[in-house]
Amino acid sequence: MEEKLGSISQTLIEGKADELQKQVQEALDGGATPEDVMNQALVAGMDAVGQQWKAGDMFIPEVIRSAKAMSGAMDIIRPKLSESGGAGSGTFVIGTVLRDLHDIGKDLVAMMMEGAGFKVVNLGIDLDAEVFVDAVKEHKPDILGMSALLTTTMPQMGEVINALKEAGIRDQVKVMVGGAPVSEEYAEEIGADSYAPNAATAVDKAKELLQA
């Protein structure tokens, strides 16, 4: 079995989505627990991908390919995990704030979160505070991510946090912010729980938030 799980990791690192789904299904059919597949094969594989990316041995297109494959595998694993009462990696909702049209950074963060096993809801760009509040109510995410690339739209992130408070749901979700003009200090100033300067760090910070 250990060998099988190792080969799943390898398929994930190579980003072969169809092959990966097949292997995951086979492992489950062969009696592996969803927890083992998740932790020993998938999470282990994505950890390796993350390390290779940081070391400069893997690059964004390859990392995203693995992340997409991971997301496909999670579609199979997630229902099994909840059946057996185990927890997945959680839900992540993300969007770009009002009057801001920059989306590629936000999309990258979304893809990397998928790669980390999160169920991701990507709301889009130019979003009203209300949209964020409704999304938190609907999807009950563990983490809400907001992206702003303009100094002029950054304050909107604070507005959304206030709107969450007003709706009485601020304490139900962790808030994470990012974007080129955003900084650690700014995140603190508006009362966000976390900040990350890039997609790689975003994944690490999200995992920290879940453990906290």
Partner 1 sequence: MATKMNQTNNQGPQFEVLTESQIEQIYASALDVLESVGARFHHEEALELFNNSEAVVTDKNLVRVPASLVERALRSYPRSIYLQGRNGKNQVRLVPNEVAYGTGSDLPFFIDRETGDRRSTSYKDVNDAARILDYLPNYEFHMSHGIVCDAPNPQTYDRHQYLAMLENSTKPMVLTSVDGEGLEDLWRIATTLVGGEDEFRLKPQFVAYIEPISPLNNDRTAVEKLLFAAEKGIPAMYTPCPSSGATAPATMAGMLVQSLAETLMAVALCHLKKPGMPLIMGGVTTVMDMHTTTYSYGAPELSLACAANTDISKWLGLRMFSTGGCSDSKTLDEQTAVEQMTSLFYAHLSGANLVHDVGYIGSGTIASLDSLVLNDELIGMVRKFCEGLNTDEDHLALDTIREVGPAGEYLTHEHTFEHWREWFMPKLQDRSDWDTWNTNNQKTMIDYLKEETDRILNEHEPEPIEPDQYKEIKKIVHEADERHS
For ligand B12, the binding residues (CB under 6 A) are 94, 99-106, 108-109, 145-147, 149-152, 176-181, 196, 198-199, 202
Q: Is 145 helix (H, G, I), strand (E, B) or coil?
A: strand
Nearer to ligand B12, 88 or 178 (CB): 178
Least Å from the CB of residue 49 to ligand B12: 16
CA 40 centroid distance within chain: 19
Least Å from the CB of residue 102 to partner 1: 9
Residue 55, CA distances (Å) to 49, 50, 81, 116 in order: 10, 9, 32, 18
Is residue 158 within 8 A of residue 190, CB to CB? The reply is yes
* Site pattern 112..141 for partner 1 (x: CB under 8 A): ------------------------------
Q: Which of 82, 134, 151, 189 binds partner 1 (CB under 8 A)?
A: 151
Restricting to residues 167-196, which ones interact with partner 1 according to CB under 8 A? 180-181
Distance separating alpha carbons of residues 108 and 44, to the nearest angstrom: 21
Restricting to residues 42-81, which ones interact with partner 1 according to CB under 8 A? 53, 56, 59-61
Is residue 20 within 8 A of residue 12, CB to CB? The reply is yes
Distance separating alpha carbons of residues 129 and 193, to the nearest angstrom: 17
Q: What is the DSSP letter of 195?
A: E
Q: Which residues bind partner 1 (CB under 8 A)?
A: 53, 56, 59-61, 101, 104-105, 108, 150-153, 155, 180-181, 198-199
